[in-house]
Structure formats: structure tokens, C-alpha cells
Amino acid sequence: MDPVEPGLEVNGYDAVANVISAFRLIPEIAFRIFCKHGLGRMDRDGKFVPDPRPWWPMENYLAALFDISEAVGPSKTLAIGKRIPENAALPANMHGIHSLFEAIDVAYHLNHRKNGKLMFDVATGRMTEGIGHYIYEPHPDENRITIVCENPYPCDVDRGILLGFALRFEPHAFVEHVRPASCRKKGAAKCVYSITW
């Protein structure tokens, strides 16, 4: 994991909800890793208590995600990503798969803060840089979209996020990693995914 800029935060409530819902059967792994990175603690009864702050340091959350990914593998990491659309703040007026993915970068920035301010200002349309992007590439006359993920999150989390969002509008959606030899897992700056339905 590359270091992130100081002052970056992720929505803490949603972060813990996504991971815990993906770990229904074995939540102890996630709890232990969250505690290791200062994102919660175990109480006297052995129950996990998440960090109560509404916003968590992004560096800590990313480190926890990478540790979780290493501990449980790509399929469980994909399951975490797939849960994120259930809790993520979205721009208004989503009416189909294309409008959703046109706005995915805005949604991403709405769920992060920099120096205490949301990274997308709904009133002005201004986006703050520092966390990378999700780049939407439509394919006219095809049931296909390409998304370029150039951000610090694990590849399998992004693949799960894209699948979770796509399934909101297309129940037969499928997400495929394009050019897996050029992947962030292998040191690349970005991953490219094809969404079909």
C-alpha cells in the first residue's frame, strides 16, 4: 500500500458496516485487524466496539483493508467491496446503470473528506483531488461499460464495488478485470474493469 496524503478520511460508520456484513460467519478476523489499526477495541466482554468517530483516517482504514485482504483472500475482499454500495452516499437522480457509473467518481468523493471537508461539493460541483478516481467509459450500442480505477484501494474491493453497483440496475451484470497482468496488485497505477450485462 502506498502512503496517502495527510488529512484524508473515510466514512467510518459505513466502513465498519461494510466489512462486518461481509464477515457474518467469522467477524473476529476483521475485528482483530480493525483493533490493530486503531479503528476499534474489544470491550471487557470480548465484544468489538468500533471507533465512534464518524470519519476514520483513510491511511488506517486502507492498511486494515490490505491486512484483511491478505488474511482472507480475494473472494472475501470482493464481498467487502460488494457491500459498499449498500451504504454509500450517492448523488440524486440515479435512473440506470449508465447514470450510476457516470456519477461513481462523485459518489466516491462524497464518501471521503480532506482536512474535514467532503471531497465533492454538491453546491458548486467542485471536486477535491487526493484520492484518485473512477473513470467511466461508455460503449455506445453495447451492454458494456469500462471503468478505470486509479485509487489506493485494493483491486478486489474495487471489483466488488463495481459489481455491487451494477447489480442495482442489472441483475445479470458481470465484472471482469481487463488486462489482469497490469494490476495494482502487481504494482500498476490502475486497474481496468469491463462491466457487461
Cβ atoms 107, 41 nearer than 8 A: no
- Give pLDDT tens digits for 102-128: 999 998 999 899 999 999 999 999 999
Cell numbers 469491463: residue: 194
The full DSSP string for 9-54 is: EEEHHHHHHHHHHHTSS-HHHHHHHHHHTTSEEE-TTS-EEE---S
Q: So what's the pLDDT on residue 132?
A: 97
Domains of the chain: 8-196 (3.90.1520.10)
Would you state the cell numbers that stand for residue 150, as one nine-digit string? 486509479
Q: So what's the pLDDT on residue 4?
A: 80
For residues 171 and 197, give the distance between their C-alpha atoms in angstroms, rounded to a whole number. Answer: 8
Answer yes or no: is pLDDT of 168 > 70.
Answer: yes
Average pLDDT for the chain: 90
For residues 185 and 26, give the distance between their C-alpha atoms in angstroms, rounded to a whole number. Answer: 25
Cell numbers 457487461: residue: 196
For residues 43 and 36, give the distance between their C-alpha atoms in angstroms, rounded to a whole number. Answer: 14
Cβ atoms 114, 132 nearer than 8 A: no
- Give pLDDT tens digits for 27-85: 888 899 999 999 999 999 999 998 988 999 999 999 999 999 999 899 989 988 898 88
**Structure confidence at residue 25 as a pLDDT band (50, 70, 90):** low
Residue 125 DSSP class: T
Q: So what's the pLDDT on residue 6?
A: 87
Answer yes or no: is pLDDT of 8 > 80.
Answer: yes
Answer yes or no: is pLDDT of 89 > 70.
Answer: no
| 113 contact partners, CB below 8 Å, separation of at least 6 | 8, 9, 55, 119
What average pLDDT does the segment 144-154 reach?
97
Q: What is the pTM of this model?
A: 0.89
Helices in the chain by DSSP H: which ranges? Answer: 12-22, 27-36, 58-72, 74-87, 97-102, 104-110, 155-169
Most confident option among 19-23, 132-136, 179-183:
132-136
Query: Would you call 101 exposed, middle or buried from its count of C-beta atoms within 10 A (0-12, 13-18, 19+)?
Result: buried
**Structure confidence at residue 91 as a pLDDT band (50, 70, 90):** low
Closest CA to 97 of 137, 145, 133: 145
